[in-house]
Structure formats: C-alpha cells, structure tokens
Structure 1
Amino acid sequence: MFTGVRPDDDEHGRTPSCPWRKRVGEAELARLRAQLRNTFAESGLTKKQLCARTGLSRTTIHEALSPRSRRCPSLTTVAALAKAMGVPRDQRRQMLDDLQPEPPTTFEASCREAAEEPRTRDFFQDLIEKHTSLFAGRQDESARIMEFVRDRASGYVFVEALSGYGKTSLLADLVRQNPDFRYHFISQAYRRSGGGFDPTSPEDVLDCLCEQLDPSHLRGGNLKNLEPQFRGLMARPPKKPTVVVLDAVDELNPPDQLRTLLPRQLPPGLVLVFSGRSQGDRSCLSDIALHPADLGLHLRLDGLGESALVELLRMAGDAAPPLAEDGDFVGEMLRISAGDPFYLRFLVEDAASGLLRRDNIERTPTGLDAYLDQQLKQLSHSARRTEHVQILSLLLEAGTLTGRDLQATVKGLEWVHFDVIMREIHRFLLVHHRAAPGAERRGGDEEYSFCHDRFRQYFRARDWVSQ
C-alpha cells in the first residue's frame, strides 16, 4: 500500500533531487559528465537540437554536461540525453548500471523504466486526465475493442461519432487502462502557440508514433524521412503484439497526410484504433485512403442513456449522487440533453455544484445552444463583460494564446484581477501548462484555447463576441 513516502524519501518525507547521488562518488559523476560531453561532441548535434529531441530545458542540459555544475542530473535526464545522442539501448542501460553499485531502489527502477518510455507521450497526460475525470457509459464499446485486440490481434478499429460524443474520452480511457498501447491525440485545443510540439502537424504526429514504435528512432526528423519510416512500421509485423491508438484523424493538418502511409491490410500483431467525426454522407476514411471493407471493427457512438447518466451523477460527487436516485430528475435531464454527452457533462457538473436542482430543472433550456444562450445572457451582466468579449474574440482568431499574450493585448486585463476575470469564462476554455520537462513553470506561460470545437462554432455564430 502506498503510504505517501517513497523508498528514497528522507525522514521528513522529502524526496532528494538526486536519490542515487549518495551512492556514487564524485569521480563516478565526473566520468559520467565527461562521457556525456564526448558523446555530445561526436553526435554533431547543437544544444538547440538536443532540447528538441529530449524535451529538456537548456538549463537542465547545461547542468548535466558542465564539469563545474554542482547539480546532479536525474536518471531520467541521463537516459533521455543518451538516447537523443544515439547511444544504443544496451549501452544506455550499462551507463545507468555503472551509476548504481548497489541494486536500484523501487523508486530508481521506476525512474529508469520511465526514462526508456518516449517523452512525447508526456504531452498528452493532461488531455487524458481531463477526458477521463468524468467518463461513463462506454463500457460496451471498450469491451468490443479489447475483444477485437485479444481475438483478432490485427486490423483496423474505427470509432466514429458526432462532435462532442466522446470519441476522445473513449480512446483516452483505453490508453489509461492499457499503458502499453502506443498513442497520439490530434487535438486542435492542445496546439502550441509559436514553436514546439504541435499534435496536429504531420511531422509531430509521425515523429511521436515512430518514437513509440521504434526504439532506435531519434526525434526531430523531417517529413521526407518520417513518412517512409512510418510506412515501413505499419507494413512490417511488430516484434510483439502492438496496439496503436490515433485520435481525431480528421483534425490532421492537412487531413489527407496519411493517405499513402497506411496499408489496406495491417500485418499480423498490429492493431490500429483510430477515430474521426461523423460528417453526414462523407466519411474521413477517404482522406486516409481506407474503405469500410478494410475495417475489422466499426463503432458508431450514440447518445448516452439512463444508466450512464446515473453513473455520471454518482461519480461527480458533492450534491450530485442523491439526484442519481431520483428517476424523474434523471429522466428530465435526458429529455433536456437528448442524451448529448457534451451537454450532459455540463448538466452533471451543475448538479454537483448545486446549481441544478429538483426545483429548477424544469427551467433548464432544452439543447446545448439554448443552454449556452442562457449562460451568455448571465455573463453579459458581468462588470468585466468588455474584457470577456476581447478575450473570446482573440481566441477565436488566434486559436491559442498565453496568459502573457492576453494581458499585453486586452485593455484592462491586469494580473491583479486576471484569475477573477478568467474564472467567469473558464467553462469555455482549456488551460494548459506546457513547461518542458525539467523547466520551471512561470506565471503567464499557461496557454488558453477553447476547450472544444463546439464552443468555437457557437461563438462564431453569435454576434456577442464582436460587440
């Protein structure tokens, strides 16, 4: 049982910055730094390229290589640098073994294991947590996917649904429960402003997946090199059964980038689970040059029913669980939402906070747009309406902006009351802290975007943001 204290914690429950430092001498540490510096010189890489390949900050890399540094690099940092500089896996393991004259503790072993995992996967942890924090009603779909993986062990699984119907949540829950799955989420909401990792760009999609599928892959390749590498990985039987999860192929920019990269039939031992939005009579399958006959399993997500809503209310906590036992209340919520998972999530959150009750549910608007109209009307009475209009208008145009960008652009938006102003419109926005591993978070670096395309579409259709 986890007691809250890790094996390397001191008597006060604090974790040392370098838990293995006490077991190696200064000479061993100096040899490690010299080995890293020599490997870096031989690699021909620049520190900027090393930052891009590892996700580490310049400061972390400098302190790991510098002979004058007083800081001890973590095992994760050492392994990431060695891999990025082309050190073979066996030599990387030996490098870490040399630093541990005694058997590694449980904490150190977990560090080493994590160090061997692709670092780009870390980018999606925030997305996975947000999409699975209140998730229910898709047990049958999850079971069918896992049954396909177990029994067929090869082929395509396509999850299709309307916008907001839970495709991303279903796949996020799938990878959360199966950490050995390889995955990438093509999310417009998580695009970075400026440079860095862009989960919608073809280069970063292929780079991320190649890194997970090929242990020898080095990040930072261009599309000309990545495309044949990915095509080969999709055509060859993997060394062990592998499941790749690719969410929202319709949000790839451009959407037909995978057209020549996926075979009509996957090799034995390889399953690709991917999702896309329902588009009327048109399917996003044509963008990636696949046909319905190529699919091993095609799932279409419908709205949620009574049992899913009851489960969501029980999960939400606070004031919501007692309402789950009220059949009339649950029935009215389903009528109002028409089973729309996107709308139901907000109603459940309102129920948990006490805003939605038995005595006022009949006054709740039917349909998401009418519900948002009601919230917008209440927001119009805010003393900060002018700032809200400017913020939402800027995000409609730019897509993603940092807190520092907003403060510099929106008149009257100062750090003194920044959080108060943003809190009033938080329901519409995604806030993401994208500090690179090893880098210190700074105020103003957090990025804001609309948390879902349905909000973006709603505000574009309203004149409120242009007033």
Structure 2
Amino acid sequence: MNCPDCGAANLPEGARFCPTCGASLPERSHPLIAQKIIDYGDLIAKSTKGFVGRDWLRRAVEDFLRADSKRYFLLSGEPGVGKTAFLAHLVTEQSYVHHFISSDDLDWVSPVAFAQSVGAQLAARFGAWLLEEDEAPPRVTVDMEIGTIAAGGAAIGVLVQQYTSLPVEELARKLILRPLKRLAERDRRPVVLAIDGLDEATSYSGQTTIRDLVAGLRAADNARVVLAANPGPALEDLAFQLEPAGLARFPLDGERRENLADIRACLKQALEEPAVSEAIAGAGLSATEFVDQAVERSEGNFLYLRSLLDAIRAGQAGLDLSALPAGLTGHYRDQLRRIKQEAGREGWRQRYRPVMGVLAVARAPLTARQLADLAGVDRETGDDVLETASLFLDRRERPGELPAYRWYHRAFADFLTSEIDNPDDWFDPQRYHAQVADRIHARFPDPSRIDDEYALRNLAYHDRRAGPEAFPRLYALITPAARRAKRTRFGSDTIFSQDLAEAIDAALDEGPAAGLPQLARCGLIDATLGSMVADVPPDLLRDLARAGQWARALNLVHLNAGRKGPGLQAIVEGLLVDATADNLDLAREVAAQIPHRDDDAVNRAEALARAAAVLAEQGNAQAAALFEAAEHSAEPIPGLDDRARTLARIARLRAASDPDQGRRLFDAALTCVREMPVDADPGVREFASAANMVAQTAPEARWVIDHTPIDTIGAKARALADVAAELARAGDSRAEAVFVEAESVAAQIGSAGIESVFAEHTADYVAARRRMSPEPPLPPVEAASLESRLQATERVPRDGEGFYAITLLNLAKTLLAAGEEGQGRSVLERAIVAAEAADGGFQAKQLADAATLLRQTGDEEAAGRLDTKVSQLADSEADLPTSYRAWLAERGREVVTTLREVAMTRAGFVKRRYYSDKALLQMAESLAAEDPDGAELLAQEIRDVSLRTRAHATALGSLARRKDPGADRVVQLIEETVLMAPEHDRDYLRAETVAVLAPLSPGGARRFSDSIEADDLKVTALVDIGAGLVAQGQAAAEVWDEAWQAAQG
C-alpha cells in the first residue's frame, strides 16, 4: 500500500497513518460501508456531462480553503445556474465527502440518511477506527492485526445499524462530529464536505433537518463545508446561524461576466456535434448568431441551455431557433405549449395532466406501471405521456429493476405547480397529492398491509399535503400495526418516525380546538417511541442472524444497551452457523464492536475466539491474530473466576488447530482460578460488604443489594469445575485432576448450601466428559416464528423514578380535559401499567394520581382498587409512615409536630438530607388535603429548593380551594423559594408549581405561569391550567389560545 499524500511505498497492511507524513491511510473497502453511502453516481454523471469552464469558481473555493479563516463557503443562485454541476465536478475531481439534498427523495432529504452516508464516507476514506464506540486498548499492534481482518476493528455497517434508533442529533454526533474530532487529534488538515440543495432540507417534516446538522458542524474545528442552495428565507436563516463560525458567501449571478463566458463555451462545445450544427444551419443561422442569441436568451441559466440543446438533438418539430423564448420560465412555457398541442384538448385534460401532475408531486422516481396506477390511467396512456415529455424526464435504470422516471430537475415541477409562473395551466399540488393518496388508500385499505415500497415510505407525506380532509387518514397511519410493518420492511423506526412528524405537523395546522387531541396522542407516541425496548433473548438474536436478518438483530441489541455484549455475541454465533465469506466478514466486525470493558469483555473475547476457530478450520492464516485479540480482550474481565472461564473457552477453541497454544491458555486459566481464595474473589466480597453497609444506612439504596453478586459461595470450586469441563471438551488429560481439585476446594467450605450450588457444575463436567461428538445442528429458523417471538419481547422499560408514567399521566389528563375520554382512558391504562413498573415510593404516587383521574371518568371501582394498592404500598415502604390517611384521621391537626419529629428522626437515620426532604415532601402531600397549614409547616423544613417548591404548591392548592387568606402568604413563600434557585432553573420550578396547583386552583396557578419566560415551559403550564379549568367545568378557550400562541413562538 502507498500513501496517497506523500507517495511513501510498501506501507504495512492495516496501518492507519503514514509513518512519513502522518496522513490518514484508507482502509480496504467493505460491502457494509458501501451499503450506507448514498450512491449519487447517476446524478454526478449527468450533472457533469459536457462540463466546461468554472475555473473562476474553483479558484474561489481554493482561496476559501487556503485562507482557512472561515468554516463555510455558501454558493447561492437561482435554479439552473449550475450549482449542482459545479459541486458534482468538485466531488469527482477532489473526492470530497458529499451529500446532494433533494425533496424528491426521502433518503436524500432525511437527516438520518445524511448522518449515515457522511459517516460511512468518513470511514471509507480515513478508516473505520474513527467510529469505534470504545477507546482502543493499549496494545495497538493487536488491534492493527485485527484491522487487516475487520476493517479497522469497527465496521461502519455494524455501527450505523446499531445507531439507527438514536435521536438524529446523537446519531450525527457519533457518526460525524466525533469522527471529525478524532481525526483532528491525529491529522490537523481540514476535511472538506460538499453539500448541495440545502434550501430543500426544510421539506423534511421532522424537528431536526439536515440544515440543523450542517449548522452543528461548527463544533468540529477541522470541518470545511462547501454549500450550495437556492436563495430565499430558509437560506438567510441558515446564514445567520453560520455567521459566527465564519461564512464566506458567493452569490452566483447568471448575468455575471464569467458565467456568461462559460455559457458561451458550453454552446461552442455543443456546436461540434453534427446534430446541433446541422439544425442551426437548417434554421438559416450562423454559429455566431445562434450562440449570441442563446447566451442572451438563457440569462446565464445552464438548465435553459441543457433543455434547448436536448430539444435540438431530438429534432423537435416546430422549434424556431431564430426566436428563442427568454429565460427558463419562458422556455418552459414554450415547451408546455408544444406538449399541449400534441396531446389535443381532451387528451391534455384527461390523459396528460393526471400523469404530469403525479410526477410533479412524486417523492421518488416511479416506474411506468406505478405512474399509470397513481394517475388513474391505463399503461399505454402513461407510456405516451412519458415519450412526449421525455426531454424533461430523468430515466433511472438499475440492474434487476424496472426503469423509473422523474422530472430531470426540480425546477420544472416547481414551474408546473406555480400559479404565478404557470397561471394558464397551473397544476394544483394539493389536488395531485390527494390523487396519489386516494389511489394508495384505495389499493391498501389497511395501512399495516401495504406492500409497495413507495407507498410505505411516502403515503403520510402525500396525506399531509392533500389538505385537512385527508388528516384523519393520516392519523390512522399512526398505529402499532403500521409501525411493525415499516420496522419489518426497513429494519428500524426511521420511516414511522417521519410519518409521525407529518401527523404532528397536521395536528398543529388544525389549531388547538381540533388538533389538540391528535397532538397529544402523536406527541405521546413520539415521546415514547425511543423508550419501547425490545428485551430480546440471545437465542432469538442468534436465530435472527441465522435467518439473514442481522441488521434487524443489531437494531434490537442497541435498543437494549444493558445487554449489548451478550446480544452481539449471539449475533456472531448465528452468523457463524453458515460460515460463508460474507458472514465471516460480518461476524468479525460484530465481534470487534463488543465493548472492551467490564462484563462485556467476556462476550467480546468469546465472540472473537469463535470467529477465529472458524477461520482456523478453513485454514486461514489470520486465525492466529484473531485468537490473540480474543486473549487480549479477556485481560480486563473483572472477576478472576470469569476470566478463568473465558480463557478456558478460548483455550478449548484454539487447541483444535494449535494444541501448544491451547495448552498455554489452559495454564493461564488455571493460574487465574488458583489465585482465588477458597470462598470468593476478594473484589466481589469487598463490594458486597460495602453494599450491605450502604443499604443499612440508607434503605432507599436497597437496589444496590439486588444488583450485587453477594452470593459467592464456592466461586473458586465452581470456576475450577468449569475449567475442568473445558479441558474435557478439548480432550486434555488434565481434566480429571482439575475436577478432583474442584471437589477438594468445595469440601473445604463450611456451608450447607455448597452441595446444591456445586451440583450444576458437576453435571456440566460429566456431560463434557461423555460428549463424544459435536453438538447436533440447530433446527431451521422459520420467519413466522421469528416474528411472533419478537412481538412477545416488546415491553415498556422499567422506570425507576416513574418519569414514563408521569408523561402518560399528564397526557391522559390533557386528553380527558379536552373531552377525548376514549383516548384519555386508553392512555391512562398505559400509565397505570407504567406506574406499576416504577419503584415503590414513585409507584405509590403515580398510582394515586391515576386513581384521581379514574374518578374524573366516573370509574369509582377501578379507582378504589388503586387506592387499596396505594395503601398497601404505603404500609410496606420503609420511608413512609403506616397508612397516612388513616393515621391522620386518628390524630388530626396535632399530628403536625409528630410528623416533623418523625421526619427529623428519619433524616438522622438516613444521614442524607435529600432523603429526609423527600420524606417531608411525601408527608406534606398527604397532609395537605386535611391540614394545609400543617403541610405548609412541613414544607418550611425542606431544604431542597425543588422539593420545597412542590410542597408549598401542594399546600397552596388546598388553601386556594378553601379561599383561605393564608394563600397569599404561601404564594410569597413560593416566589422567595424560586428566587433561591439558579436563574436557569426558575422557569422549571414555576412550571412544576403550576403542574401541582392547576388541578386544585387553576386561577392560583395562573399567577405563576405569567412569570415563565421559556416558551416550551409556558406552553406546558398553560395546558395544565386549561386542563384544570375544564376539569372544574370552567371556560378554557382563552388559555388554549394563549397556549397555542406560545407554541407557535
């Protein structure tokens, strides 16, 4: 391999940097990288065909890069002046990382696809090591050896597949910003990115667009970005964002002298074609006359030139070369007139307009059959229209696919749908969006059964733009069944998330009266989409990989990050069942992606060893390097017993091809286990002891005990038995002696439970001794079985502090207040399920709130069941007095002093002020309804500002409801408490006060919402107040309108 920068020759394979000049070296190509890079080959080839001139523009870019004083170069100009062609030429000439945005293609305008493609290009050009999730371990030589096998030890295809469920900003951070920063640490030279069509990024319906990600590139000091966009408000907004980072603006005026010179050069080049020169001569024009007229009439627009020359080459009848129309719009009008004349009046209205209208709004190229179906015409008619309009069409041809068509340039579609530029034959875009949506809905009445890729990707897009009448159909697309269908087809929730964004935009368009219920519903789904966790067992992930669905399996592993190591190891095992060359490549990449640290190191080491064993069976010389990497990965395994087991498994796999190395690894495993004390690994015992002490002083920390491996009885004996089993599987004669040693160690333990603990390991050893043949082959995997098993795994994540339940409860409250009782009750049922998954104290609070909402719906029976459960929880929780309400009824107002004493005693016991504050808050909340004055006394004992504010607000609600004059004093106390907090927290505290106060006293809550400055928190507060007003039978229209105005802000 040679260095592409300095030419240094014979560099070692797998090297990341040139030792002579320090430049990053490219890695070998891998099919997974290519899968993630958007292929702009056709666009670049067509855009650069006949490319001439532009030296002056190239120099401007070179000066920008050479000066290195600014970060962005912005080329702006009207459609057709050659921006895309110039950037395509730069990409061809300089191999810049690139992206061409188009609103006609979901992948080209999607910020997720942008992050994936740009990240993949960075990996392909500079090395996939840029994208490694964990820092590389110290022994670089081993990793470099892995690099020759697994593209730097971290395949972009694997990484990107794992990241598809991340928020797009985090996706961009992992795939673009972090790699750029890592590259800057080693190579300070700038990395140039070329991005075209930035103005079209705003057509994406999600909250984050490519434009936002481009602005975020300011965080990478080594990024230099060459941008191209049409002028307009969107461009000016972006320029305002980019100015602080350094923005060089270059307006490309078509009438600019250098541009007109390039137009002239392009025409002179075309005159060398016989078809063009003969047509000019046939029109009675000299070459000079034609060129002068075309330059003037083009107004410096290359798209005009391209369309004119194509018409000449096609021998278009009636083309008057002596009287060319002025400007691109004039040319389009002239061409449209010709198409109408050829079609005839009835043919134009009934045949041509439907087809051309569908092409004007289509989101992607369409086959002739798709086009005819969506336009509602027969196939022959569709073909006729395509032939007549061929000068304006781009025909996409790919191996194994039918030809697909779209307008050659977005400018022609914009002309057709512009009432100003095309007033006589205006194509109303809403009408044609509705036509496309109607045809798809008629063909697929059930959205979950759509099997057409264009429809799956774009139906929501067309429904959204078909007008308010289509919004109910759009909302009907947001269902679990539709989500499953898209996730099954595309491997992630990306398309469903886009549909969700369209639905949210539609609800916003409808306004508060009509749109609020759907806004709440879709907002809930949007907020919780990323929280739906697939807790998929490893055997199912293994079977998915065996069935060829490795991409889907990787998505599921990432969703359940807590079990990343076992999940990735299972995928490796599944891929190795059928060890084809592609599966082996992928298995090595997946194995290299398992983190180096903690318990995941076990899975990384074993996965690498399994892949190495298959390589060894195939006689591949690289197996040794991968075995060494597996051994190295075992070093950070925390427990001596687990480290010994892992080394023994690696030893058994390696012994099959290299008995000496296998024996060495078995020796290392035995050394590890023999260093252990008889009873347990010292580190585990020390941690267990510390956990016990913590739990005794702070019962709130009981979870530490639940997650600590305290039961270490016989750890050394068990580890010895497991090493013995691996020795037996490898046919090593030492197996029996090691097992006898394990039995001897077990006998030294003075515990009655050792026999049952040790029995399982004994059984495994006996099985290993008796196993005379390989394990039987796994049964075949059935697709239907996989789907049913996957559906059974989806669940709501356990939420220790009940935040998920809070979200659901708030949305249920909003829906019920808006009169949407059916949807509100449905959300409330989910909230109860989520609350029951929360930890004790939080669980009681959320269930109590749910009971209150159930009573609002008139379901006293269900509310009573929750009250009973809350009471049981209160009795069982160590940090709650027994049954607050019963206790308060017996003791009355005198209990305030006692409560304070209990709280203070508890604070001394816990030795952590925060927990005593929480206890005081819980007591104040329970006391408020019976004795708001007593609750207020308790609130004053709370030191934590946030908790004290909540306690004050609870007391204030009861006082206000009673019209107690003491309420004004509490309002003042709350404001004083809020002002004690840092300035950036004050709005949050006021919003929280409103949330507590609104159901009890909406009017009182209003005093705090008026002080909130942040728009998002003000909207939340106003919605809470509106819900409180509706619940009390009061008019809320004014509050809804105010919330709406704040939301628009």
User: TM class, shorter-chain normalised?
Assistant: 0.5 to 0.7
Q: How many angstroms apart in 2 are the aligned matches of 1:314 and 1:321?
A: 10
Structure 1 position 162, deviation (Å): 1.6
On the 8 A contact 1:159/1:301 being kept in 2, the answer is yes
Please tell me whether residue 441 in structure 1 is matched to residue 390 in structure 2: no
Structure 1 position 251, deviation (Å): 1.4
Structure 1 position 163, deviation (Å): 2.2
Q: How many angstroms apart in 1 are the aligned matches of 2:180 and 2:286?
A: 49
Tell me what 2:265 maps to.
311
Structure 1 position 365, deviation (Å): 1.8
On the 8 A contact 1:165/1:340 being kept in 2, the answer is yes
Moved more, 252-261 or 389-398: 252-261
Please tell me whether residue 390 in structure 1 is matched to residue 345 in structure 2: no
Tell me what 2:291 maps to.
330
Structure 1 position 285, deviation (Å): 5.1
Secondary structure in 2 matching 1:319: helix
Secondary structure in 2 matching 1:380: helix
User: Any unmatched runs of 5+ in structure 2?
Assistant: 1-12, 16-25, 132-155, 429-1049
Q: How many angstroms apart in 2 are the aligned matches of 1:397 and 1:247?
A: 21
Please tell me whether residue 300 in structure 1 is matched to residue 300 in structure 2: no
Q: How many angstroms apart in 1 are the aligned matches of 2:76 and 2:63?
A: 18
Please tell me whether residue 232 in structure 1 is matched to residue 178 in structure 2: yes
Q: How many angstroms apart in 1 are the aligned matches of 2:62 and 2:317?
A: 36
**Change in 2 beyond 3 A, CA 1:292/1:356:** farther
Please tell me whether residue 340 in structure 1 is matched to residue 301 in structure 2: yes
Structure 1 position 425, deviation (Å): 0.7
Q: How many angstroms apart in 1 are the aligned matches of 2:113 and 2:335?
A: 37
Structure 1 position 367, deviation (Å): 2.5
Q: How many angstroms apart in 2 are the aligned matches of 1:388 and 1:296?
A: 45
**Change in 2 beyond 3 A, CA 1:117/1:140:** farther
**Change in 2 beyond 3 A, CA 1:134/1:260:** closer
Matches within 5 A, 1:422-461: 422-433=386-397, 440-443=399-402, 446-460=403-417, 461=419
Please tell me whether residue 378 in structure 1 is matched to residue 338 in structure 2: yes
Q: How many angstroms apart in 2 are the aligned matches of 1:295 and 1:325?
A: 49
Tell me what 1:247 maps to.
196
On the 8 A contact 1:428/1:451 being kept in 2, the answer is yes
Please tell me whether residue 219 in structure 1 is matched to residue 160 in structure 2: yes
Tell me what 2:367 maps to.
402
Please tell me whether residue 210 in structure 1 is matched to residue 155 in structure 2: no
**Change in 2 beyond 3 A, CA 1:321/1:222:** farther
Alignment: residue pair count: 343
Give the letter for the 2:274 counterpart.
D
Please tell me whether residue 146 in structure 1 is matched to residue 62 in structure 2: yes
**Change in 2 beyond 3 A, CA 1:283/1:334:** same
On the 8 A contact 2:74/2:248 being kept in 1, the answer is yes
Please tell me whether residue 186 in structure 1 is matched to residue 186 in structure 2: no
Structure 1 position 355, deviation (Å): 5.2
On the 8 A contact 1:459/1:465 being kept in 2, the answer is yes
Q: How many angstroms apart in 1 are the aligned matches of 2:329 and 2:274?
A: 26
Moved more, 455-464 or 287-296: 287-296
Structure 1 position 379, deviation (Å): 1.3
Match of 1:168 among 76, 79, 84: 84
Structure 1 position 311, deviation (Å): 1.9
Give the letter for the 1:250 counterpart.
D
Give the letter for the 2:392 counterpart.
F
**Change in 2 beyond 3 A, CA 1:260/1:351:** closer
**Change in 2 beyond 3 A, CA 1:285/1:249:** same
On the 8 A contact 1:431/1:449 being kept in 2, the answer is yes
**Change in 2 beyond 3 A, CA 1:222/1:265:** same
Secondary structure in 2 matching 1:271: strand
On the 8 A contact 2:177/2:220 being kept in 1, the answer is no
**Change in 2 beyond 3 A, CA 1:347/1:111:** farther
Question: 1:52-91, CA deviations, whole angstroms, 9 ceiling, x for partnerless residues?
Answer: xxxxxxxxxxxxxxxxxxxxxxxxxxxxxxxxxxxxx959
Structure 1 position 276, deviation (Å): 1.7
Q: How many angstroms apart in 2 are the aligned matches of 1:243 and 1:291?
A: 16
Q: How many angstroms apart in 1 are the aligned matches of 2:84 and 2:236?
A: 17
On the 8 A contact 2:74/2:250 being kept in 1, the answer is yes
Q: How many angstroms apart in 2 are the aligned matches of 1:327 and 1:356?
A: 23
| Relative contact order higher in (CA < 8 Å, ≥ 6 apart) | 1
Higher helix share: 2
Give the letter for the 1:372 counterpart.
Y
**Change in 2 beyond 3 A, CA 1:228/1:291:** closer
Structure 1 position 458, deviation (Å): 1.5
On the 8 A contact 2:325/2:331 being kept in 1, the answer is yes
Q: How many angstroms apart in 2 are the aligned matches of 1:276 and 1:410?
A: 31
Secondary structure in 2 matching 1:275: strand
**Change in 2 beyond 3 A, CA 1:275/1:173:** same
Question: 1:37-66, CA deviations, whole angstroms, 9 ceiling, x for partnerless residues?
Answer: xxxxxxxxxxxxxxxxxxxxxxxxxxxxxx
Structure 1 position 326, deviation (Å): 3.1
Larger Rg: 2
Q: How many angstroms apart in 2 are the aligned matches of 1:265 and 1:121?
A: 23
Matches within 5 A, 1:117-156: 118-121=34-37, 123-150=39-66, 152=68, 155-156=71-72
On the 8 A contact 1:161/1:301 being kept in 2, the answer is yes
On the 8 A contact 1:403/1:447 being kept in 2, the answer is yes
Question: 1:191-246, CA deviations, whole angstroms, 9 ceiling, x for partnerless residues?
Answer: 15xxxxx1101111111111222424333323424033234345555344421111
Question: 1:275-321, CA deviations, whole angstroms, 9 ceiling, x for partnerless residues?
Answer: 22111xx4625347623353353221121644312321243333346
User: Any unmatched runs of 5+ in structure 1?
Assistant: 1-88, 92-109, 193-197
On the 8 A contact 1:402/1:447 being kept in 2, the answer is yes
Q: How many angstroms apart in 1 are the aligned matches of 2:199 and 2:327?
A: 25
On the 8 A contact 1:237/1:270 being kept in 2, the answer is no
**Change in 2 beyond 3 A, CA 1:426/1:270:** same
Q: How many angstroms apart in 2 are the aligned matches of 1:453 and 1:164?
A: 10
**Change in 2 beyond 3 A, CA 1:115/1:315:** farther
Higher strand share: 1
**Change in 2 beyond 3 A, CA 1:256/1:288:** farther
Secondary structure in 2 matching 1:291: helix
**Change in 2 beyond 3 A, CA 1:402/1:319:** closer
**Change in 2 beyond 3 A, CA 1:177/1:356:** farther
**Change in 2 beyond 3 A, CA 1:114/1:363:** farther
Give the letter for the 2:386 counterpart.
M
On the 8 A contact 1:262/1:288 being kept in 2, the answer is no
Give the letter for the 2:78 counterpart.
L
On the 8 A contact 1:337/1:367 being kept in 2, the answer is yes
Q: How many angstroms apart in 2 are the aligned matches of 1:356 and 1:296?
A: 48
Matches within 5 A, 1:244-283: 244-252=193-201, 253-254=204-205, 257=209, 258-259=211-212, 262=215, 265=218, 267=220, 269-279=222-232, 282=233
On the 8 A contact 1:149/1:271 being kept in 2, the answer is yes
Match of 2:379 among 414, 425, 437: 414
Structure 1 position 177, deviation (Å): 1.0
Tell me what 1:31 maps to.
none
Give the letter for the 1:369 counterpart.
T
Q: How many angstroms apart in 2 are the aligned matches of 1:366 and 1:356?
A: 19
RMSD: 3.7
Tell me what 2:235 maps to.
284
